Amino acid sequence: MRVFCDLNVILDVLLDRKPFIQFSYKILELAQSGEIELVISAIFIDTLAYILKRNWKTAKEVRDIISKLLFLVDIAFVDKKVILDALKFNFKDVEDAIQCSSAFYDNCDLVLTRNKKIF
């Protein structure tokens, strides 16, 4: 099963956000064991780096975290068509629209997020 993972799920683990960390950590375990294929959007990496840096991580720590994460996930394809289609969605947040569009084009079976308002 291909599971598109929203940034907030990964941030729960990386930033030790309670009470969500237990569920989010389980998702990473399922990806590591191969029970699911975890997919993220390419724009996820930029946003993740920014948030980690803002949370007092050094540049080296940010690179190390991203390198480790990339062993667990696939990157959903994002190109002009994905973005143009995303802009047709009635989302307030363009980033969320791009992630949804890239999940669709990458044939993901479901989107995993805590963002109930959008997805």
Say if 12 falls within a structural domain: yes
What residues form DSSP beta bridges with 57? none
pTM: predicted TM-score of the whole model, two decimal places? 0.85
- Tally of domains within the chain: 1
Say if 119 falls within a structural domain: no
Rounded mean pLDDT, 71-89:
94
Say if 105 falls within a structural domain: yes
**R_g over Cα of the chain:** 14
Say if 97 falls within a structural domain: yes
**Tokens of residue 51, six digits:** 């948030």
pLDDT category of residue 117 using cuts at 50, 70 and 90: low
Give the CA distances from residue 10 to residues 83, 87, 114, in Å, rounded to whole numbers and listed in that order.
23, 25, 11
Query: pLDDT tens, 12-64?
Result: 998 899 999 999 999 999 999 999 999 998 888 998 999 989 887 789 999 99
Rounded mean pLDDT, 105-114:
91
CATH number where 10 lies: 3.40.50.1010
Say if 118 falls within a structural domain: no
* Residue-number span of the structural domain to which 56 is assigned: 2-112
What residues form DSSP beta bridges with 73? 38
